[in-house]
Amino acid sequence: MKLLYFSSNITQRRSALDSVLIDYGKDIELVPISTEQDLIDMLPQSDAVIIQECNFERLLLQIVSGAENMSKQKKLAVIKEPRQFTPKTIPAILKQLYSQNITLRFPIKNGEIEVDTNDILYFEYCRRFVFIKTQQERIKTSLKLKDIPSIVSGCPFFSPYVSFMVNLMYVEAVKGNSVQLKNGELIPLSQKKAARFRREYKQYLSIMS
């Protein structure tokens, strides 16, 4: 997940940002920027923008709004941060991201299909194909397994097992070597990924509470 941090005094505030990000592992990349052009250049690859109040605030918000309108696949949180950066800033961004429902386009045999992120229970790699399991159906795609993390960046998906990427909003519980979904399905949980998956799920529940 890539976060842009726009501040007229970024050097002074970087240490505070870094200390807060330590609690969120290596999945969050913070990119400090200080010019309007940096913001324009970096927006297409970013998931969120933290904007410190400054003289250019209105213009910056207009730029961000325009970027969201250009692509319906853009999932972008905008956090106005007028005071000191605190440990609550990152959870606020993540909650805003996780609460949004966006429509993503996925390649299939005869073209593309649009699926809302909130309808996706999980992605599954099976017999050399990636399937999307929604609440209504199982969709065979032309996706590559390695592409999924970047596609769902900014959404609450995490992998409990090498062939699965699960939407945390549909997890009911983590028990032993499996993940129980709210519809009763059980997804395998590998020993290698178990500790991190439990941590991510616990963090998700805390953020959304």
For 65, the token pair is 């709004």
pLDDT at 160 over 60: yes
Number of domains making up the chain: 2
Residue given tokens 């809302």 in the structure block: 116
- On whether both 64 and 121 belong to a single domain, the answer is no
Checking if the pLDDT of 137 tops 70, the result is: yes
Q: What is the value of pTM for the model shown? A: 0.74
> What does 162-204 look like in DSSP terms, one character per residue?
TTEEEEGGGEEEEETTEEEETTS-EEE--HHHHHHHHHHHHHH
What average pLDDT does the segment 120-136 reach? 96
- pLDDT at residue 128, rounded to an integer: 92
Asked whether 180 and 173 are in contact (CB, 8 A), the reply is yes
Say if residue 58 is in the same domain as residue 40: yes
Asked if residue 136 and residue 60 are part of one domain, the reply reads: no
- Over range 73-96, report the average pLDDT: 63
Between residues 96 and 58, the one the model is more confident about: 96
**pLDDT, greater one: 109 or 39:** 109
Q: Which domain holds residue 111?
A: 103-208
